[in-house]
Amino acid sequence: MDFSKDLSIIILAAGKGKRMKSEIPKVLHRICGKPLIYHILKQVISLEPKNVFIIIGHKKKIVREYLDSNFPSVKAIDQDRQSGTGHAVMMASDDFSGMGKNILILSGDSPLITAGTLTSLVKLRSENDLSVSILTSITQDPAGYGRIIKDGDGKVLKIAEEADASREERLITEVNSSIYCFEKDHLRENIDNINIKNSQGEYYLTDIVEMLINKGERAETFVISDHQEARGINDRSQLSEAEDMLSHRINKKHMENGITIRNPSSVYIEDTVQIKPDTIIEASCFLRGNTMIGKGCSIGPFSQIDDTKIGPRTTVNSSVIIGAGIGPENNIGPYSYIRPGTITGEKVKIGAFCEIKKSNIDEGSKVPHLSYVGDTEIGKGVNIGASSITVNYNGFSKSRTIIEDGAFIGSDTMLVAPVRIGRGAIVAAGSVITGDVPDNALAIERAKQKNIKNGAVKYRNRKKMDREK
C-alpha cells in the first residue's frame, strides 16, 4: 500500500493536561530528551503520509512555535474551546477535501506508539474496506478507559466512555486506545452529527463509531499485545513510567546493534544518540542530545556526555563532556569536565580532575591531572604538568594561550594569557609566565630559594611562646 497517497494524520493535542500541574503544555513535556509530540510525529512521519494536521489549543502559541521550528511541514489547527475529541476533529473538517482516503486519528500524549502498529491499523481498514478500524488492548485494570462493546459474535457495537458505561460494561477488559483509522467519506459525513448528550457534555469522537454501525457499516478492532504501547500520559507519574519504557526500548535497540550496556536499567540514552558497535556503556551513564560515539569505545560508570562526537577506541572514565569533539584513542578522566568548544586530536590524554574549556588539543598531548585549560591551542606532543592553569580571564575579557608542538609545562605553572609557548620550550615548575617563551627556550619565573639555618626550630619556639602568653 502506498501510504503517501492514501493516508492523512490528525493528532489531537489541544488539551490542558490539568493533572500535570505545569505551565508547560502537556505535549511539550519531555521523555528521553524530546517532547511527547516529537515521539509521535517521528513515528507518523515515517509512514510518509500525504499530510499531517495537529489540533492545538492550550498554550497554543508555544506549541505552534515548537512545531514551526521542528516540523514545518505539519499544519497546526486551532481549537480555542476544548469540547471533546469529536469537536477537535471538527476543527479539521475544512481540510478534509485535501486528505487521503485513510484518516488516522491519534492523541498527542501517546509517545510509545510505533509506526508498525499504526501501519497494521491502517491496513486493517483499507484491506477490509471498513468504515473504521479501532486500536484496542486487553488490560486487567481498565479503569479510565472507554470499553469496546461487542456482540456474541465479536462484532463491534459501540465504544462506551467510562463515565457513561453501565456497571456491566465496566467489567469489559478490551479498552479503547483512542487511535482510529477512518475512511474519509464516512468521517466527513458523520462528524457534524455528533452531539453533547452525555455525562461530560462533550463531543465524543467515539459516537461516530456507533453511528456508522447503526447505518450498517463495518468496524473492527486491532488488538495490540502490549497495552502500554498505546497508553496516554496524564500526570508526572505516568510521564516517568513512559520514559522508563521508552528508555528500555532505546537501550534494547542499541544492544541489538552490537553495543554492550551494563545494568541497562541505570543507563539513560536519548533517542538522538548514535553509537557504533563494540562500544561498552557502563552503569549509570547519561548520553544525551546529538551525541555520536565511535566504534570500540568504553564509557565508564557515572559519565555524562551531551552533544559530543567521540572517535573510535576512546575511553571515558566517570567524566562530564558537553559540546566537544573527542578524537580517536583518547583517554579521559576520571572526574574531568570537558566543556563546549573543546576539540582533541588522536591519542590525547586528559587525566583526573581536569577542566578543559574551548580549547584545541592536538595529537599525543597530555593534560594528566588537576589542571585548568581554557581558550588554549595545544600542539602535538605537549605535556601539561599537574596543577597547571591557563589564566585566560583578566576580569574584563578572555584571551588565548598558544602552546606549540613538543612543549613541556612543569607542574603548578600559571600561563597568563595572551601568551605563546614556543615549539620545544620548557616551562619550569612553579612559574608564572606572563610573556612569550621562544622556541626551545627554558622559562623560569620564581623567587630564589633561601634556606635559614635552624629556622624551623626558631619558628616553633616563637609559636609556643605566643600560645603561652
3-state helix, strand, coil split of the chain in percent (to 5) is: 25, 30, 45
Q: Which residue has the cell 560515539?
A: 293
What are the DSSP calls for 214-247, one per residue? HTT--EEEEEES-GGGG----SHHHHHHHHHHHH
Query: Pick the catalytic residue: 87, 227, 254, 369?
Result: 369
Amino acid residing at 146: G
- Look at residues 313, 425, 442, 448 and name the one whose alpha carbon lies nearest to residue 378: 425
HSE-CB of 258 using CA atoms within 13 angstroms: 11
Amino acid residing at 243: E
Is residue 55 classed exposed, middle or buried when 0-12, 13-18 and 19+ CB atoms within 10 A define those classes?
Answer: buried
Name 450's bridge partners.
Answer: none
Catalytic residue flag (residue 39): no
Name 150's bridge partners.
Answer: 156
What are the DSSP calls for 80-101, one per residue? SS---HHHHHHTTGGGGGGS-S
Active site amino acids: 369
